[in-house]
Amino acid sequence: MNILYVASEATPFAASGGLADVSGSLPAAVNKKGHDCRVVIPLYKNMKPDLRASLTPLTSITVDVAWRKQYCGILTTIYNGVVYYFIDNEYYFGRDGMYGFYDDCERFTFFSRAVLEMLRYIDFKPDIIHANDWQTALISVYYQTLYRYQQGFDNIKNLFTIHNIQYQGKYGTEVVNEIMGIPMYHSDLLMYDDCVNMMKGAFEAADRISTVSPSYAHEILDPWYAYGLDRILINKQYKLSGILNGIDTNIYDPEKDPLIPANFKAGSHVKGKKICKEKLLADLGLCEGDEPVVGIVTRFVAHKGLDLIKYIFEEMVDRGFKFAVIGNGEKIFEDFFEEMARRYPDRVSVTIGFVPETARKIYAGADMFLMPSQNEPCGLAQMIAMRYGTVPIVRETGGLRDSVKDCGGENGNGFTFKTYNAHDMLNACLRAQALYNDKKEWKKLVDFVMKCDFSWESSSEKYIELYKSLLGS
């Protein structure tokens, strides 16, 4: 099968979050199974120079953005067995940063249209276009309204994946005519709650909708999780499903990882993990000693459950936990962690910002990994932590629920709690601490956690099944 995987970011070319990890690893896994999955992303300014130098120009074309005619360069490269295409336009993408500009609607409308136009000029005809998140949502809308009857565009199926339903691409109605250039008689595809909602457009126009865990696929039918889109999704349930993400187990490999102080593997982790923990404590200025170190690697935003952590934090410090925190985001949480680090300098460390090396050292050196999200479409951090033998403590939601099972039951690989409540979270942490103090049992648990398979092996197979079922439909 030929699949064109479209996203606004992909590791290593452009990355700001989990989406980049997925678009940087799923296509390669699909290709290993004998398909041709190619990736297209915008060409942003801030690409590492060596990667930028590896791109070859293919051609340049003109793309309509309503009444405007815009330049569009197309570049290409092969990376990790995957052909990548890059959509170039200085005006739209030659800026510092990827999102958050006043004209994001126009920038990604251009991108979506350019992806379809590009198909006229490359020697690749996709059977499926797999678009991801609101930035690419217009592709299926354009396909159904303007392209499907054009020569060379027949019989392309559209899959749209939701990585986070909170970001929908919502704008005033004028953009349909002014920016998208979609005929007004098709505008009902995009309209929702008196706004243009690009994600909703994809829900209407794509042949299938998927999301990044089975549990999240259910949860987003509920207003508590859906940020307003539950009403439309309930109608589109027949084409909605969830597939748990995987992680790139070659990048995240405690046996080979050059970024961590000592390598280790399941079955013989004790020595290596101990060195990683000691080095982590020393690097972060935390006191030595055997008490459990809790790692937190996250964006500082409310839906990551930081208010629960904030509420119970000092009690946890009193009860003997140490904390290694890294992340950035809302000031209220940055200030909070900084204050805690000032108050308990030898027990709490916070790194504001995102330093991948430090994050990796926390994954490897911490004993437990805390992720009490309010909602979590999939979550990759808990899987990475587990790969490094760091036991997750999570709330049972979305992909956290699908990847972590509580140790109180069979095949437990972590500690979980259900209700969004700080004391329920504390209780899960205390159960983890109790097991941690039983060194023999803890060692067994860490080995088991490390053996859990979060590679793309089985998830890529599920995507292939979904692709196949699309072509059969």
Q: Which residues bind ligand GLC (CB under 6 A)?
A: 17-19, 22, 163-164, 212, 245, 376-380, 399
Q: Which is nearer to ligand GLC, 116 or 359 (CB)?
A: 359
- Tokens at 299, concatenated: 């964006």
Give the shortest CB-211-to-ligand GLC separation in angstroms: 8
Residue of closest CB approach to ligand GLC: 18
State how far the alpha carbon of 336 is from the alpha carbons of 300, 325, 374, in Å.
10, 12, 19
Whichever of 17 and 228 has its CB closer to ligand GLC, that residue is: 17
Q: Which is nearer to ligand GLC, 333 or 442 (CB)?
A: 333
Please return the burial class of 12, using the count of CB atoms within 10 Å of its CB with bins 0-12, 13-18 and 19+: middle
Please say which residue, 257 or 376, places its beta carbon nearer to ligand GLC: 376
Shortest approach of ligand GLC to residue 286 CB, angstroms?
28
Smallest separation (angstroms) from ligand GLC to the CB of 186: 29
Q: To the nearest whole angstrom, how small is the minimum distance from the Cβ of residue 114 to ligand GLC?
A: 23
CB of 402 to ligand GLC, least distance (A): 11
10 Å CB burial of residue 310 (0-12, 13-18, 19+) is middle
Q: How far is the CB of 343 from ligand GLC (least distance, A)?
A: 31
Q: Measure the CA–CA gap between 446 and 388, rounded to whole angstroms.
A: 9
Cβ atoms 459, 348 nearer than 8 A? no
Contacts of 45 (CB under 8 A, 6+ apart): 93, 94, 95, 96
- Specify burial of residue 80 (Cβ count, 10 A radius: 0-12, 13-18, 19+): middle
Tell me how far, at minimum, the Cβ of 23 lies from ligand GLC, in Å. Answer: 9
Q: Would you state the structure tokens that stand for residue 167, as one six-digit string?
A: 């970001």
Token digits of residue 91 = 């005006």
User: Please, which residue, 63 or 386, has the CB nearer to ligand GLC?
Assistant: 386
Nearer to ligand GLC, 164 or 416 (CB): 164
Q: How far is the CB of 9 from ligand GLC (least distance, A)?
A: 10
Q: Which two tokens stand for residue 400?
A: 């956290």
For 100, residues 6+ apart whose C-beta sits below 8 A from its C-beta are: none
**Residue 352 bridge partners (DSSP):** 327
146: DSSP letter: I
DSSP 100: -
- The minimum distance between CB 11 and ligand GLC, in angstroms, equals 11
In the complex with ligand GLC, the residue whose CB is nearer, 175 or 198, is 198
Tokens 């964006």 belong to: 299
DSSP string over 141-167: HHIIIIITTSTT-TT-EEEEEES-TT-
Cβ closer to ligand GLC: 8 or 164? 164
The string of DSSP codes covering 109-133 is HHHHHHHHHHTTTSS---SEEEEES
Which of 380/422 has CB closer to ligand GLC?
380
Distance CA(237)–CA(217), nearest Å, equals 9
